[in-house]
Amino acid sequence: VLPETRERFARQGGEPAVDTTPELFAKQLRAEYERYRKLLPAIGLKPQ
């Protein structure tokens, strides 16, 4: 990871993914999407 990228993530409270592939990253994004797709309506939030 480039130092500038690591610093930008750190300023935002995150850490860049390590030892991942584009395919694994896409799988993780799909899982997060599915998680929030179910969570948001359950807590009463609706897209605008």
Residue 46: what residue type?
A: K
CB 26 within 8 A of CB 33: no
* Overall size of the chain counted in residues: 48
Residue with tokens 């799909």: 30
Q: What's the pLDDT tens digit per position in 6-43? A: 888 889 887 767 778 889 989 989 999 999 999 999 99
CB 15 within 8 A of CB 9: yes
Tokens linked to 16 = 């860049």
Residue 23: per-residue pLDDT: 92
Question: How many CB atoms are located within 10 Å of the residue 6 CB?
Answer: 13
pTM value is 0.54
